[in-house]
Amino acid sequence: MLANKGTDVFEFTNRPRYMDFVWLPAARAEGESGEEIDLSVLPGRGAIGEMLFLTDLSGGWYEVENPTKDLGLRVEWDVGEMPYLWSWQEYGASEFYSWYGCHYNIGLEPLSSFPTNSLEEAVDNFMALFLGAWEKRRFSLRAEVLEGGRS
């Protein structure tokens, strides 16, 4: 998994933690017990998922690769409109709604604001995106399938 250089990460498990971070194939982070975690490798089914908020992006893009299938996906967006990237993972350990222990997947979503547990919290910490009455905003992203390695 790749993201652009100059990225910081906010990690959420039971509490937020801040760390300097460059997301490259050899990406490392600190786990709950202080152990080193290689974020470029997805854990096996049943592992506890994480929620990460990447900030200070040098550009709006990421790539995900499956070397076994020789396929990848590159996603690009306007980092001025969505300056953060939310990385969440579900590996089958969550037995509650809406996961029920059935999912094994990751999500990478451009965000206008972070980290919040509610809209009220986002408003209180001035992270919510405000729209005036009848105001419209447009947002687009581009997704490209990468075959045979990176393009």
Tens of pLDDT, residues 35-94: 887 777 778 888 888 777 888 888 899 888 887 888 888 999 999 999 988 888 888 888
Report whether pLDDT(7) > 60: no
Q: How many domains does the chain have?
A: 1
Q: What is the pTM of this model?
A: 0.70
Identify the domain containing residue 87 by its residue range. Answer: 2-147
pLDDT in tens, 83-134: 988 888 888 888 878 878 888 888 889 988 876 678 888 888 888 888 899 9
Q: How far apart are CA 14 and CA 22, in angstroms?
A: 23
* 77 vs 11, residue with greater confidence: 77
pLDDT band at 135 (very low <50, low <70, confident <90, very high): very high
Per-residue pLDDT, 27:
64
Q: How far apart are CA 31 and CA 33, in angstroms?
A: 5
* 23 vs 79, residue with greater confidence: 79
Q: Show the tokens assigned to 11.
A: 């990690």
- Residues 16 and 80 sit within 8 Å (Cβ to Cβ): no
Per-residue pLDDT, 149:
57
Please, how many CA atoms are within 13 Å of residue 88, restricted to the half-sphere of its CB?
11
Contacts of 52 by beta carbon, 8 Å cutoff, 6+ apart: 9, 10, 11, 12, 29, 39, 86, 87, 88
Per-residue pLDDT, 21:
34
Per-residue pLDDT, 19:
34
CA angle 90, 95, 96 (to 5 degrees): 100
Report whether pLDDT(151) > 60: no
Per-residue pLDDT, 45:
86
Neighbour count for residue 63 (Cβ, 10 Å): 18
Per-residue pLDDT, 144:
94
